[in-house]
Amino acid sequence: MRNVFLFLRRYSIFLRFLVMQVIALIMLFSKNRFHQSYLGMVSKELAGAINTRVNAVESFFSLSQQNDALREQNAELLSLLPSGSVWADSTGLLVQDTAWSDSVRTLRQFVYLPAKVISNSVFLPQNHVILHRGSDQGIEPNMAVVSRDGIIGTVVHVSKNMSGVMSLLNNESIVIAMLKKGSGLGEISWDGNDPYALTLSKIPKTVKVALGDTVVTSPYSDRFPPGSKIGKVVEVDQDQETNTYILTVRPFVDFNTVQHAFVVRNVLENEMDAIRKKFKKE
Amino acid sequence: MSPLIKHIIRGIILLLVQLFLIKNIPPLHQFIVPYIYFVFLIWLPFRVTRMQLLYIAFVWGYVVDMFYQTPGLHLAACVLLAYARPALVDFLLPKDSTEWGSEEPSRATMGQVPYFVYVLILTMVHHAWLILLEWIQFGSFFYFMGKLIATTTVSMLLVVIADLLFNRKASRR
């Protein structure tokens, strides 16, 4: 027994070092559970509060660019107003109406909540974006996050006023995607190296792929609005082992400079889930 | 100014530079992701005991992790650096390091070459552990070596610049 105590005293520094390393590694390799714990929440709110202050200064430097972008978006949206689209017909005029719920029962499926990006990274293997909007403002995990140019990622952690988004630049992120011209579902993933190169796999070789083809989200996604833009094909590679392509896709969103995002709430999600559960029960 | 306050202010400045300047610089290459915050641990006075050093490194690493959203990554690297530091000081300095009192490692106290070797080795240790842990999660050996060499080079450059800016002189020789 005495020897044990002697040993402990002699190597106390080394043992403490080992304990600290083990704590660090446990934190690192079980990051999801840890992050949702109370400690993770507190640190995120604190770091978020400081990030918000700095971001307030930083956003001044890109004001003119942001203004241009918003103006462009305004123009785009104005051109979509019901009053702007009129169908000429030989017999008469039909005004297209896309209101929330009208006489022909157009149902709205996706609601967009604006959010400001307050922290962001691109050069880690697992990049996250932090938005200044949280559970108090109606954000829930698993909601999609898009920007004007294209999709950004999925909400994974939510605290009261902040939410953490797993961006497309994360080696654990997988998004079902397709080519805009139709045919073939594939998976968008990231290998962790170049922030301007996503990988689109599992597109069958029967589909004709050309450089510059636009990649959009699939129509069957329950998170992302169908047909949201992702990027364009910049490199076409044949997978030798399977009958599919490996495409390199350049994302439309510049993750370095993204400042504004929209969190997308799928209003019909509960209904879709309920239907799915019925299938599982059978 | 008391040494304690001096080191706290220095720590805050280094943290702000790391998080809001260096982290936001558009990267030159995927291999070059420099760090400067760990210099705080390198510059702590010789008087700090091994045990204190470990605990300071633990807290310091955790604070950085909070901002980088990587629980444990920087923590592990900082603790390893803190563990390696006293051994390296003993090896590089002829005298017993406790005799140096409140002096801190700098060009003036240690001499040009030993100081450079001291910083280089600790930078390498810190970066190697950091990048190795990244490598375990993904990547290849080539990625590891390339990133280690490129990042260490740029970080060393930053440390030299920081050295010139802070202009730390020996209070007594």
pLDDT (0 to 100) of residue A242: 82
pLDDT (0 to 100) of residue B152: 92
- Segments making up each domain of chain B, as ranges: 3-166
A102 — pLDDT class (breaks 50, 70, 90): very low
Q: What share of chain A is helix, strand, coil (3-state, %, to 5)?
A: 35, 30, 35
A3 — pLDDT class (breaks 50, 70, 90): confident
pLDDT at residue A93 tops 60: no
A166 forms bridges with which residues in the sheet?
A: A128, A154
Quick check: helix, strand or coil at residue A112? strand
Range of the domain at A218: 175-251
What's the CATH number where A217 sits? 2.40.10.350
User: Using one digit for the tens of pLDDT, what is the confidence trace for B35-68?
Assistant: 999 999 998 888 888 888 999 999 999 888 887 7
More confident of the two residues B68 and B17: B17
Is residue A268 one of the residues assigned to a domain?
Answer: no
Backbone φ and ψ of B144, nearest 5°? -60, -55
Reference A163, options A135, A144, A196; nearest CA is: A135
How many Cα atoms within 13 Å fall on the side-chain side of residue A83?
Answer: 1
pLDDT at residue B97 tops 60: no
Is residue A139 one of the residues assigned to a domain?
Answer: no
pLDDT > 70 fraction of chain B, expressed in percent and rounded: 88
Element (H, E) at A63: helix A63-79
Q: Please check whether residue B21 touches A, CB under 8 A.
A: no
pLDDT (0 to 100) of residue B59: 92
What is the distance in angstroms between the Cα of A44 and the nearest Cα belonging to chain B? 7
Reference B54, options A213, A24, A257; nearest CA is: A24
pLDDT at residue A80 tops 90: no
Q: Do B72 and A25 touch (CB under 8 A)?
A: yes
**Which of A45-59, A83-97, B28-42 comes out lowest in average pLDDT?**
A83-97
What is the distance in angstroms between the Cα of A12 and the nearest Cα belonging to chain B? 9
Q: Do A125 and B26 touch (CB under 8 A)?
A: no
Would you state the structure tokens that stand for residue B48, as one six-digit string?
A: 């700090």
Neighboring chain A residues of B33 at a CB cutoff of 8 Å: 123
What is the distance in angstroms between the Cα of A193 and the nearest Cα belonging to chain B? 7
Quick check: helix, strand or coil at residue B72? coil
Residue of B nearest to A49 (CA): B67
Q: Please check whether residue B144 touches A, CB under 8 A.
A: no
Q: Identify which of A117-126, A162-171, B22-31, B162-171 has the greatest average pLDDT.
A: A162-171
Structural domains of chain A, count: 1
Q: Do A21 and B133 touch (CB under 8 A)?
A: no
pLDDT at residue A84 tops 90: no
pLDDT (0 to 100) of residue A272: 81
Residue of A nearest to B49 (CA): A13
Residue type at position A47: A
Is residue A208 one of the residues assigned to a domain?
Answer: yes
pLDDT at residue A152 tops 70: yes
* Interface predicted TM-score of the whole assembly (ipTM), two decimals: 0.81
Neighboring chain A residues of B61 at a CB cutoff of 8 Å: 24
Q: Do B76 and A24 touch (CB under 8 A)?
A: yes
Please provide the average confidence, as pLDDT, over all residues in chain A: 79
Helix/strand number for chain A, H first, E second: 6, 14
Beta strand A260-266 with A244-251 is unpaired
What is the distance in angstroms between the Cα of A173 and the nearest Cα belonging to chain B? 14
Q: Do A125 and B69 touch (CB under 8 A)?
A: no
User: Using one digit for the tens of pLDDT, what is the confidence trace for A194-246?
Assistant: 888 899 888 888 888 888 889 988 887 778 888 888 999 998 888 777 888 88
User: Using one digit for the tens of pLDDT, what is the confidence trace for A156-199?
Assistant: 989 888 888 999 988 888 888 988 887 778 889 998 888 888 99
Q: Do A171 and B72 touch (CB under 8 A)?
A: no
Is residue A117 one of the residues assigned to a domain?
Answer: no
Burial of residue A170 (number of CB atoms within 10 Å: 0-12, 13-18, 19+): buried
In the CATH hierarchy, which fold is given to the domain comprising B3-166?
A: Arp2/3 complex 21 kDa subunit ARPC3 (1.10.1760)
Neighboring chain B residues of A16 at a CB cutoff of 8 Å: 51, 54
Q: Do B58 and A34 touch (CB under 8 A)?
A: no
Q: Please check whether residue B1 touches A, CB under 8 A.
A: no
pLDDT (0 to 100) of residue A171: 84
Question: If you average pLDDT over residues B26-33, what whole number do you get?
Answer: 75
Neighboring chain A residues of B71 at a CB cutoff of 8 Å: 27-28, 31, 34-35, 40
pLDDT (0 to 100) of residue A89: 39
pLDDT (0 to 100) of residue A88: 39
Q: Do A125 and B20 touch (CB under 8 A)?
A: no
More confident of the two residues B146 and A85: B146
Q: Do B51 and A16 touch (CB under 8 A)?
A: yes
**What is the spatial distance between Cα B127 and Cα A126, in angstroms, rounded to a whole number?**
18
pLDDT at residue B126 tops 50: yes
A245 forms bridges with which residues in the sheet?
A: A203, A238
Residues 6+ apart with CB under 8 A from B108: B168, B169, B170, B173
A96 — pLDDT class (breaks 50, 70, 90): very low
Would you state the structure tokens that stand for residue B28, as one six-digit string?
A: 């030159």
Neighboring chain A residues of B76 at a CB cutoff of 8 Å: 21, 24-25, 28
